[in-house]
Amino acid sequence: MHSPCSTASLPDRARAAAAAALWLAACAAAPAADVVGRYRHEGPTAAILEVRAAAGQYVVRLEGGGSPAAGAASAADCVIEARGDLDGAVLRAPFGPVETDTFSYGAADAAREGRMLEIAFAPGIAEVIEADTLGYCGWGAAFTGRYRAVR
């Protein structure tokens, strides 16, 4: 039997949002200057998150997204760049264009698709709540979850 407050019966995205809301309520809001830095995913995903301030906003770059346990079938080389403002301790930002040696996503694609990234911050921690990568990265890529600062 589930408690009325249980998130077990919610869809994955709603459950993640509920968990993030509870997590944020339990943590003090991170001052804006404290979110800048480099973070590493704590779970099985091989991913790096970088946050920097630029022109009054925050530029976020996520790289990786695969699980080393998948071996050669692991999704790799996915890159997300997004720019947005902090609302308290939450950054919600649209994907922007990105170009690397192995990955390309143009400004027209970004405008047409409207993909979003949402990250909640607490001191030394970033929780990627949403990263709209279905059809953007290789199959199996995932960036959601908890990241710890490695500054």
pLDDT at 34 exceeding the cut of 70: yes
| CATH code of residue 106 | 2.40.128
Burial of 27: CB neighbours in 10 Å, binned 0-12, 13-18, 19+: middle
In a domain, residue 5? The reply is: no
Residue range 77-86: mean pLDDT, rounded: 91
Maximum mean pLDDT: which of 7-11, 49-53, 70-74, 137-141: 49-53
Q: What is the pLDDT of residues 71-81, one digit of tens each?
A: 544 456 789 99
Give the pTM: 0.74
Residue range 33-38: mean pLDDT, rounded: 88
Give how many domains the chain has, as a whole number: 1
**Rg (the chain; Cα; Å):** 16
- Domain span at 44: 28-149
